[in-house]
Structures are given as structure tokens and as C-alpha cells.
Amino acid sequence: MVEIDFIQKEYPLHWLVWQNDYKQLDILLKKKEDDKEKLDNRGRTPLMLAVTLGHLESARSLLNNEANVNCENADGWTVVQEAVATGDPELLHMVLERRDFQRYSNRMAGIPELLQKLKEAPDFYVEMKWEFTSWVPLVSRMCPSDTYKVFKQGSNVRIDTTLLGFDHTSWQRGNRSYVFQGHSDGATMMEIDHDIQQVYCEEMKAPDEALGVLIPTEESVSQRLTTPIVTTYVDTDKISFERNKAGMWGWRSDKSEAVNGHECKVFSASNVELVTKTRTEHLTESDKARSRNNKTPLQNFLGIAEVEENQAAAALQNEYTKSSNPCNITPEEYFDSAVNLQNRDIGRPKEISVKVQKFKANLWLCEQYPLSLPEQILPIVDLMAISSSHFAKLKDFIQMQLPSGFPVKIEIPLFHVLNARITFGNIFGIDAEVAHVHRIQEEDRLTCVLDECIFQCPSGYSQIGNAASDGRRQFSMEEEDDLLQFAIQQSLIDAGTEKEEVDIWEALKAQKPSRPATPNLVGEEERQLQRAIQASLELYQKSTDSSETNAAADPDIDSDLHMALMLSEQERRKQEEQRLQEEKILEEILQLSLTEK
């Protein structure tokens, strides 16, 4: 087993954190001789160790010396999530404030750098369509969709969108443009609200006094401390891509489809697992009960595998156990990589539930697409990912080791009721004319030229202050993620989705924060769902009857549901007829081959 001298030499900052010697820690950090981001043998930085142990003063010293808050431990938990697990509101408040400041600083520094990288790439215009579809009409009717229109000229980028947010019962639509103008010494961002003809401007420079502006509210801290900690990630260790096939048995060939006029190879990604981990050790019994009551009977219908993991807490004798180290792990044990701690760990004993959902993703890949994924699209996604959570998750998804080609369309099924589809189209305004976008046919390729006015503030619009100083514009990625999660949950109320359901943003990639508590929705909505599912089963059982009989089965059935079920039944019959036709053709072929012999 390692000696104290080895720990002090190998992990000097970690050792001071373990002892909570914050005065000596501060002295050592100011010398800047040791790496404050160094991982110990358990995969923790000094800050992660301080937070996990609940050592407030050591954590404050590390944060004041700019230790990175946006990191994870070996199990994928963030510093913020570990701070929540301690149940200490002061520690959580301090970590949240510094985390938001660091994200804001990275955004200010990162956007000008990305715009300079874009400068050398060819100019273009493209549309990214985001769609949600479902076979359950009650869900499909509420699912949002949006098309991002992307303009790029030199180091200038403009992105138009219409889906703004969610307000109580409906998705809020509008007409906004986000314009990024790159300069040699920085960048300018404009948010243009075309409905009210107002423009918010923001200079992308390193912040000086933004730390005091980004203070988390007491409500946000309290909300985190009274709701489960949730993280979701895509486990791609076993992922495999295979080409879809088309045709009859024995005469099958690789499947290809045209998407927006481009011939694409169709692939399926299998063995992809969405893993959702939920921690509740920081919750009171009443908080846990409220969290459990938010679930609905649809969980069983969705077929989610759930496993409870209660961390073993050996050596819980009250006389020497500390709340931050209940397993009484010695530093010699912790810092010795040869020692297997088994289920023991520092921090509160973890109460974890794990859900695993397997799904297949479909990809339409084009070899001869006019745009370059790494040179043109990924920088745009990077740009949006700095402040947009769902673009950050799209970025991680398309950066996986995909087969060759441009992903013109990506389709991801979520559970049994919800699909998400992202499609690229209308390149250079070929399919539909776009104002101020002009196509040029060169010898070997098609390009486009964009007018300067696209990236300027429209005449007659009023500028309302600086976006950076406008308090209502300060949304972190995580707050946006929370809003989207809550919005999708609310929009799927009619389908009875449970509180911890995985949504599109989680499917594209994870790192989910704690979510706003969803109201207990046991009531008319759930009864409506049960009635819809029962009606669906009845109609399916009577599929051999005439459509008129089906129509009269239950006068209370939602008309949209009835229509969808009828279309589904027609599709099933069509597929059955096609299968019989193929079998008939195959039989004729076999008879002909026998006759020739």
C-alpha cells in the first residue's frame, strides 16, 4: 500500500484537498507549479475530489484559482451533479456560478476562433429540418418541427429559426435570425427579432465583470436539491453500421434512396444503447415519493429495463464515520491504484437507478454531396453548440465513426412512440429560391454567392442595448436543455410519457442535468391515453372486418387516432399484398427454372 510521502509527492493538490487544508492549498495554487486539472488514480481532479468530499473551503480555493468546472469523473458525473449530491446549497451555488462564468467565457473566446476557421471554407446556403413524428396521433399532433436556414459568407454566419420555446401549453413560434460577424480582433453577434423589428447586439470579447451577472437564483438551487440527478449518454462501444437491403429473398441488393434529389446509401446503426442514470441519495423521503408518483403506467408499455444500484456502505459505525466518507476509506487505500475499493467510494452512498434502451438509427449517406461535413457543416454545428444544447448533442452524434458520405438524413426512433429526423436540403436554394442567394455553375461544381445585406441589421429595426447586459438573455446551455426537456414532456402529456423518459436531445447525446419537476399528471390525460390504446387494440383485433365496422367501433375515439389507425391498417394490408406478390413471382421464377432443366 502507498505511503503518505508518495501521495504528497504524486498528488500534492489532491492530498491538501483530502485533508481540507485550504490555506496551504491556496498558497500552492498561487505558485502555479502543480497541474490543477491532474486526475488522481480514481479519475478525479482536485476540484471534483473537493466537491465529492463536501470540502467547501477547498472547493472555493480551487474555483478562485480557475479550476475547470466543466469536467466529469470516471462514472460520467459532472462537478455540478456531485455538488447536488452533497445536499449543500452553498457549495452548489458557488459551483453553478463559476460553471456558468466559464461557459460564458468559453463562448466569448470560442466564437471568433470558429468564425476565422470558417473564413476559408466555400460559401454556402443550406437548410436543416428537424422533425418529430409518432404513430400515436395524440403525440404527433403536439410534436414540434423546425427548419434552420444557414447562410455562410467568409467569416459571417446567419441562422434563421422559427421555434422559439414553450409556454405552458403550446410551442411558441416566431421569426428570428442569429447573425455572427467575424472580425480580426473578435466577433459580433446579433439576435434579430423580425416580428417586433428589434436587434440585440453582443460583442464577443473576453468578459471582465460577467461573474457577478451570472449568479444562479435560489429557486434554481432549490430545484436541483429537491429533484433527482439525471445523466444520459449513448453507449457506442458495440455500435455497428450495416447497409440496408432491398428486394426479394435471393435477389436482394444494397438499398439506396433519393433524398432531396441526392442518391443516398441507407445504413442502419445497431447495438446502440441509451443509458439513463438517476441518483436520489440527496433527496428526502417526501422528494423521492413525489418523484416516484410522477411516473405513469406507460413505463411498462415502453419496455424499459431498470436496475437499482445501491452502493454498499461498509463500516458505517457512527463513532468514526464522516458524512463525506461513510465507507471510512483511508487516503492510503484511495490513492493506491492496486487497491480495489469494490463498491465502496467517498461521498454519500449512491442510490442509483439505471435504465437501458436499445434502438436503431437510420442514416442516409451521399457520396457526392455538394457540401463538406468537416469543412462547412461541423464548424456551423460547433458554432451553435457553444450555446445550444441540442446542437451540442447533434455534434457528438455526427462525429461518431460514420460510414463514408454526407449524412443527408438521420432518423432516430425514441421508445415506441417518438421518432426524430434531421434532414439537410435546399442547398444553394436549388429546390426553392432564397432571396439574396445566387447560384453559380462552375465547370465541375455548383457554388453560390450571398449578398452582404443578409448579414447586416435590417433598415428600420431598432437596437435594444447590448445582449450581454440584458439579464433576460442570459440562458445557459443547461437551462435551455431543461426548458426543452420540460416542453417535450408537457407536449407529450396526452401520451402519458413518464418524467424520466429519454427525448431527442438525450438521444443525440447526453449529459442531462437535473430536470424541472413535472407535475403529477394522473387524471384526464392518462385516461384519454388508456382509452386511445384500448381503442387501438380493439381496432387491430377487428382488422379482418370491414372499415365501416371499424369506424363504428367506438364513437368516443379521437378522429385523428381513428384516421391514423385506419391508415396503419391500410399500410399493413398493402405490405401483405406486396409480400404475396413477391412470393408469387418467386414461385413462377422457380417453376420456369425447373421447366428449363
Q: pLDDT by residue (tens digit) across 86-95?
A: 999 999 999 9
Q: Which residue has the cell 420456369?
A: 592
Q: CB count, 10 Å around CB of 174?
A: 13
**Chain segment 333-369, per-residue pLDDT in tens:** 999 999 998 888 999 898 998 888 777 778 999 998 9
**Chain segment 60-85, per-residue pLDDT in tens:** 999 999 999 989 998 889 999 999 99
Secondary structure (3-state) at 12: helix
Is the pLDDT reported for residue 35 higher than 70? yes
| Alpha-carbon gap, residue 165 to 515, rounded angstroms | 16
Instruction: Label residue 7 by pLDDT band (50, 70, 90).
Output: very high
Is the pLDDT reported for residue 301 higher than 50? no
| Alpha-carbon gap, residue 492 to 134, rounded angstroms | 11
**Chain segment 448-489, per-residue pLDDT in tens:** 999 999 999 888 998 876 544 443 344 444 554 454 444 444
State the average pLDDT over residues 565-582: 75
Check residue 289 and give its pLDDT: 84
Give me the architecture of the 4-104 domain, per CATH: Alpha Horseshoe (1.25)
Secondary structure (3-state) at 411: strand
Sign of CA dihedral 443, 444, 446, 449: negative
DSSP per residue over 148-186, as a string? EEEEEETTEEEEEEEEEEEETTEEEEEEEEEEEEEETTE
Is the pLDDT reported for residue 545 higher than 70? no
Check residue 528 and give its pLDDT: 52
Asked whether 353 and 281 are in contact (CB, 8 A), the reply is: no
Instruction: Label residue 57 by pLDDT band (50, 70, 90).
Output: very high
588 phi, psi to nearest 5 deg: -65, -40
The residue ranges of every structural domain in the chain are 4-104, 524-596
| Alpha-carbon gap, residue 428 to 464, rounded angstroms | 32
Q: At what angle do helices 389-398 and 378-385 cross, to 10 degrees?
A: 150
State the average pLDDT over residues 202-213: 60
Is the pLDDT reported for residue 118 higher than 70? yes
Asked whether 494 and 142 are in contact (CB, 8 A), the reply is: yes
Check residue 295 and give its pLDDT: 53
| Alpha-carbon gap, residue 367 to 365, rounded angstroms | 7
Check residue 379 and give its pLDDT: 86
- Containing H/E element for 84? helix 79-86
Asked whether 147 and 470 are in contact (CB, 8 A), the reply is: no
Instruction: Label residue 52 by pLDDT band (50, 70, 90).
Output: very high
Check residue 36 and give its pLDDT: 94
Residue 249 is which amino acid? W
pLDDT averaged over every residue in the chain: 75
> Which of 233-247, 285-299, 419-433 has the lowest average pLDDT?
285-299
Is the pLDDT reported for residue 446 higher than 60? yes
570-575, long-range: CB within 8 Å, 24+ apart, which pairs?
572/543
> Which of 164-173, 414-423, 526-535 has the lowest average pLDDT?
526-535
Instruction: Label residue 520 by pLDDT band (50, 70, 90).
Output: very low
Check residue 69 and give its pLDDT: 95
Residue 35 is which amino acid? D
Is the pLDDT reported for residue 54 higher than 70? yes
| Alpha-carbon gap, residue 491 to 133, rounded angstroms | 13
> Which of 39-48, 99-108, 320-329 has the lowest average pLDDT?
320-329
Check residue 555 and give its pLDDT: 45
Instruction: Label residue 205 by pLDDT band (50, 70, 90).
Output: low
**Chain segment 371-387, per-residue pLDDT in tens:** 988 888 888 888 877 66
